[in-house]
Structure 1
Amino acid sequence: MRKIDAADARLLEAVQSDAHLTADQLGEACGLSPTAALKRLKRLRADGIIEREAAMISPRALGYNIMALVMVTLDREDRGVIDRFKQDIRNTPQVTNGYYITGDADFILTVVARDMDEYDEFTRDFFYDRHPIKTFKTSVVMSVVKSGGPLPVHDLA
Structure 2
Amino acid sequence: MQLDEADRRILRHYLAEPGLERAVLAERAGVTPATLWRRLERLREGGVIRTESAVIGWRALGYGVEVSLRFTLDKTNPRAFDEFIAAAREVPEVVTIETFLGRVDVRLTVIARDMVQYQEIYRRRILTLPHIAELEALMLIATIKDADGLPI
User: Normalization by structure 1: what TM-score?
Assistant: 0.83
The alignment status of 1:60 with 2:59, answered yes or no, reads yes
Mapping for residues 136-147 of structure 1, pairs under 5 Å: 136-147=135-146
Following superposition, the deviation at residue 21 of structure 1 comes to: 1.6
Alignment equivalent of 2:150, drawn from 146, 152, 156: 152
- Higher relative CO (Cα under 8 Å, sequence separation at least 6) belongs to 1
Residue 98 (structure 1) aligns with: 97
Q: Which moved more, 1:54-63 or 1:131-140?
A: 54-63
Mapping for residues 122-133 of structure 1, pairs under 5 Å: 122-133=121-132
Residue 45 (structure 2) aligns with: 46
> Residues 70-104 of structure 1, C-alpha deviation per residue, up to 9 Å, x if partnerless?
11111226552212333444454322222211222
Structure 1 residues 88, 14: closer, same or farther in 2, change over 3 A? Answer: farther
The alignment status of 1:30 with 2:34, answered yes or no, reads no
Q: What SS does structure 2 have at the residue aligned with 1:70? A: strand
Structure 1 residues 132, 150: closer, same or farther in 2, change over 3 A? Answer: closer
Q: d(CA) in 1 for partners of 2:106 and 2:4?
A: 35
Structure 1 residues 35, 92: closer, same or farther in 2, change over 3 A? Answer: farther
Q: d(CA) in 2 for partners of 1:45 and 1:93?
A: 30
> Residues 105-155 of structure 1, C-alpha deviation per residue, up to 9 Å, x if partnerless?
1012221111122222222333322311111111111112122x142242x
Ranges in structure 1 where 5+ consecutive residues have no aligned partner: none
> Residues 33-56 of structure 1, C-alpha deviation per residue, up to 9 Å, x if partnerless?
011101111221222211112222
Contact 2:87 2:130 in 1 (8 A): no
Ranges in structure 2 where 5+ consecutive residues have no aligned partner: none
Contact 2:43 2:49 in 1 (8 A): yes
Q: d(CA) in 1 for partners of 2:76 and 2:16?
A: 39
